[in-house]
C-alpha cells in the first residue's frame, strides 16, 4: 500500500515538474507570432496614444508585431470581455484603466466578465493626471473664471466624457461637487470623438488626458485650465494644478494596466511583466505627461 502511494506521489510530482518545464519553455519562446493588444477606446484617444507607443516598443523588443485592436464603449466592458474570453496563451492582452479592473464591479449589477476571476494581472503601466479642457471660444481664461460662469449659467453648457461612469465622467463630477456648479453631461465612446465635438463647438468642457488637447492648443481651439496632481506637468508648465487654482480636493487621475485571460501560465505573465517594465524605462519622454509604474492592477 505504501509503495503504491509513493509511486502515485512520484508520478504526480513528475507531471507537475514537466508542466512547469513546458510552461517555462513556452514563456522563453514567447512570442512567436503577433500579439493583439485590446484597447477600450477609439484611435486618437489618450489611452490609444499610449497604447501605440507601448506596442511600438514591445514590437521592437519581441521582434513580433503588437497589433492594436480598438474596442471602445460600455466603460471598457466590451474590451475586457474580449480578453476574458480569449485563449490563455498571452497573445491577447488588455490595456485597461481603473474602470475595467475595479470601478465596473461597483457600477453595474450584471457584467459579462469578473475582473478577479477572468483576468490575470500583468503589471501597471502608467499613472497620469488629467486636465480640464475647455473650448477656445469659451471666455474663461482661468479655472475660477470657468467656475464662476458655470455657477451662473451651467445649465446652458455641456461637458463630454469617455462614457457614463468612467474616470473622465467621475473626474468632472468631482470638480462639480468641489466647486458647486452644474452642467449637462454628454457621454461618448471615448475622448477622441468628444474632442472632435468640442472642436466643432458642440460641447464646452471635459476632463481628460492632456494628449487630447495638446495638438489643438497652439491654434487656440481649446484651452487647458488646470491639471490634477501635486505639481505641474513638464509638458504644460504654464497650467496650474487644481490645488493651485483653489480646488485641492478634485480627483482626476487614473492608471493603465495590462492583463491577460485568467489561466495564463505564471511564467509567461512574469516574462510579459518584465518586458513591459523594461520598455517603460526606455521611453523617458513619456514622463512629461505620464508616470511609469510597476505594480499589479
pLDDT of residue 14: 52
Position 79 in a domain = yes
Q: Are residues 157 and 245 in the same domain?
A: yes
- Arithmetic mean of pLDDT, 7-34: 63
Per-residue model confidence as pLDDT tens digits over 180-213:
999 999 999 888 899 999 999 999 999 998 888 9
The pLDDT value given to residue 219: 87
Q: Output 107-113 pairs: Cβ under 8 A, ≥24 positions apart.
A: 107/75, 107/165, 108/77, 111/77, 112/77, 112/81, 112/84, 113/77, 113/80, 113/81, 113/84, 113/85
Same domain, 81 and 136: no
Q: Are 246 and 135 in a shared domain?
A: yes
The 10s digit of each residue's pLDDT in 239-284 is: 999 999 999 999 999 899 999 999 999 999 999 999 999 998 886 5
- CATH at residue 139: 3.40.190.10
180 in the same domain as 120? no
Backbone angles phi, psi at 130, to 5 degrees: -90, 165
Residue 197 domain flag: yes
Rounded Cα gap, residues 175 and 177, in angstroms:
5
Q: Domain count of the chain?
A: 2
Pair 189, 281 in one domain: no
- Residue 2: pLDDT band (50, 70, 90) is very low
Same domain, 244 and 288: no
Does residue 286 belong to any structural domain of this protein? yes
Question: Which of 188, 229, 193, 195 lies closest to 214 in space, CA to CA?
Answer: 195
Structural domain boundaries enclosing 73: 31-127+255-292
Residue with the bigger pLDDT between 139 and 45: it is: 139
Amino acid at each position: 500500500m505504501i509503495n503504491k502511494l509513493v509511486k502515485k506521489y512520484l508520478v504526480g510530482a513528475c507531471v507537475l515538474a514537466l508542466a512547469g518545464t513546458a510552461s517555462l519553455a513556452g514563456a522563453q519562446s514567447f512570442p512567436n507570432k503577433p500579439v493583439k493588444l485590446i484597447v477600450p477606446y477609439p484611435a486618437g484617444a489618450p489611452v490609444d496614444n499610449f497604447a501605440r507607443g507601448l506596442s511600438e516598443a514591445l514590437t521592437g523588443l519581441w521582434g513580433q508585431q503588437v497589433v492594436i485592436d480598438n474596442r471602445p464603449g460600455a466603460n471598457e466592458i466590451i474590451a475586457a470581455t474580449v480578453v476574458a474570453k480569449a485563449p490563455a496563451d498571452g497573445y491577447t492582452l488588455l490595456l485597461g484603466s481603473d474602470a475595467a479592473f475595479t470601478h465596473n464591479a461597483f457600477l453595474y449589477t450584471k457584467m459579462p466578465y469578473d475582473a478577479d476571476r477572468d483576468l490575470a494581472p500583468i503589471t501597471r503601466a502608467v499613472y497620469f493626471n488629467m486636465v480640464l479642457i475647455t473650448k477656445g471660444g469659451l471666455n474663461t481664461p482661468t479655472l475660477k473664471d470657468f467656475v464662476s460662469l458655470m455657477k451662473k449659467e451651467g445649465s446652458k453648457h455641456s461637458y463630454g466624457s469617455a462614457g457614463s461612469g468612467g474616470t473622465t465622467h467621475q473626474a468632472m463630477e468631482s470638480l462639480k461637487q468641489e466647486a458647486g456648479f452644474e452642467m449637462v453631461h454628454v457621454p461618448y465612446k471615448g475622448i477622441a470623438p468628444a474632442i472632435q465635438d468640442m472642436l466643432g463647438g458642440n460641447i464646452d468642457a471635459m476632463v481628460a488626458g492632456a494628449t487630447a488637447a495638446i495638438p489643438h492648443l497652439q491654434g487656440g481651439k481649446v484651452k487647458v485650465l488646470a491639471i490634477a496632481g501635486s505639481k505641474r506637468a513638464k509638458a504644460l508648465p504654464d497650467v496650474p494644478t487644481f490645488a493651485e487654482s483653489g480646488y485641492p480636493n478634485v480627483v482626476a487621475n487614473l492608471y493603465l494596466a495590462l492583463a491577460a485571460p485568467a489561466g495564463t501560465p505564471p511564467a509567461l505573465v512574469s516574462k510579459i511583466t518584465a518586458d513591459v517594465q523594461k520598455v517603460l524605462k526606455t521611453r523617458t519622454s513619456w514622463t512629461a505627461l505620464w508616470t511609469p509604474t510597476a505594480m499589479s492592477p
